[in-house]
Amino acid sequence: MVVNEKTITGEDLLCFTFFQAVATKIHLLQDKTSELLNIICRKFVKPEKLSDIGQDFEFEETESHKCISDISLGFDSTKEICKRLPIGDPFLNKLKGFMPGLALLHPDRAQTSNYIVFVARTFRGFDEDLLKSEWYRLHLDFTIEEKNKLSKLSFDDMWKQICRHSYPSLRKLVNAVRSLSNSNADSERVFSYLPDLKTKNGITCHLPV
C-alpha cells in the first residue's frame, strides 16, 4: 500500500516520520496530533467522555477514567501531548481550509473564506478583499469532475495545478503556507551535520602560503 496523507493514521504519527518529509504536511499536523491524543485517551478514558477530549480536558479527573483493571496507559502521556503538540493551535486549525474538502468541494464559501483570511492576517501583507474574490471564484472555475480529480492529488500537486490559473493572491498565500516546515527535523538534521563540517582539525588548519 502506498502511504500518503490520506492513508496515514494516528499510530503512524507515533514515530513522527510522516512529518519528516519535503512535501507539505503542516496543514495535517493538528488533525494528526489530535488523532494521536484520541488514540491514547481510548486506553484509559471512558468512551462517553472521549468527545470532550481537548487541550482543557482534565485528564486527572478520576470520574472520566475507566476501571483500573481496564486502563493500559495513564494520563501523564496525554498531558505531555497537549503540552508539546499543537492540539489547540488556532493557526494550524485554519490551515484545514486549504485541504481539498474545504478548498474545492465545500459550498459555503463565506465560512471557508474565514479560514483563508485568518491565515492571511497571520502572515500579513495580503489584500483580504482580493483573496475572498479569488476564493469564491475558485469554487466556480472548476467542474465537479475536475474538482474530484484535483482532490485526489497530493496537497502540493493539487495547488500547483490550481495556481496555474489566475489566482495571484491565493498563489502567494499558498506558497507562504508551503514554505512552513512540517517539523523541526530539517534544522535538527543541519545540527547533526555540523561536527562533520566543523571539526577541531578544520578549525586549526592553515592553507599553505
pLDDT tens per residue, range 10-45: 444 444 566 666 778 888 888 888 887 888 787 788
Residue 126: φ, ψ to 5° = -110, 145
Q: What is the pLDDT of residue 66?
A: 79
Residue 120: φ, ψ to 5° = -65, -40
In which residue are the cell numbers 503556507 written? 177
- Name the band, by pLDDT with cuts 50, 70 and 90, for residue 50: confident
Q: What does each C-alpha distance from 111 to 20, 88, 97, 198, 208 come to in angstroms?
A: 32, 20, 10, 52, 67
User: Residue 72 corresponds to which amino acid?
Assistant: S
Contact 77, 65 (CB under 8 A): no
Q: What is the pLDDT of residue 142?
A: 93
pTM of the complete model: 0.63
- Read off the pLDDT of residues 122-176 as tens digits, 9 standing for 90 and up: 999 999 999 999 999 999 999 999 999 999 999 999 999 999 888 999 999 999 9
Angle at 5 between CA 53 and CA 81, to 5 degrees: 30
| Residue percentage of the chain with pLDDT more than 70 | 74
- Read off the pLDDT of residues 80-130 as tens digits, 9 standing for 90 and up: 777 777 788 899 999 999 998 899 999 899 999 999 999 999 999 999 999
In which residue are the cell numbers 530539517 written? 186
195 vs 18: CA distance, rounded Å: 27
| Residue percentage of the chain with pLDDT more than 90 | 36
